[in-house]
Amino acid sequence: MPNLATGERVVVTRDAAGTRDLASRLATSARPGDLLCLVGDLGAGKTQFAKGFAVGLGIQDVVSSPTFVLMSEYEGRLPMFHLDLYRLADGADALAGGLLDDRQIEGVALVEWAERLGDALPAARLDVLIDGVGDEQRRITLRACSPDYARYLEALA
């Protein structure tokens, strides 16, 4: 993923609860049409991040990894579209399958394995890069790739 950052912040979380709490706090800055790209190894905590973000949006449903359904929708303060591109080869598969569509401008899209979109990745987004697996602490880099997404970084001040 190219680094088009207009701002960056690194946060360390000690466990899954800390990752969920961070995401919940970030969700207070969410606006319709936002795109959050979750990048990290298998087991890094991308789905834990999505669970916390959902809580911050007031979503009551249980959020689970959409690996086998590719996309799950949840209703809260804003609709949340949780996508998992793990099983897709590239961005063309996501676009051909209709995973990215106009409905998402009404809510927030969280995309796990977003790097698979390659050149189809929109410039306006928040990259959430998660380093660490297993019981290790997580180093989470939040990268605002356009000025509008800097509000997520400001939410942590």
Q: How do the pLDDT tens digits run along the chain, 157 residues long? A: 444 557 999 999 999 999 999 999 999 999 999 999 999 999 899 999 999 999 999 999 888 776 555 778 899 999 999 988 876 555 555 554 555 555 667 899 999 988 877 777 888 999 999 999 888 899 999 999 999 999 999 998 7
CB atoms within 10 A of CB 17: 11
Separation of alpha carbons 4 and 73, rounded Å: 28
Q: Which two tokens stand for residue 136?
A: 């290790």
pLDDT at 54: 97
**Can you read off the two tokens belonging to residue 99?**
């995973």
Q: Which CATH architecture has domain 7-154?
A: 3-Layer(aba) Sandwich (3.40)
Task: Write down the domain spans for the chain.
Answer: 7-154
- pLDDT computed for residue 66 by the predictor: 61
pLDDT in the model for residue 96? 46
pLDDT value for 64: 78
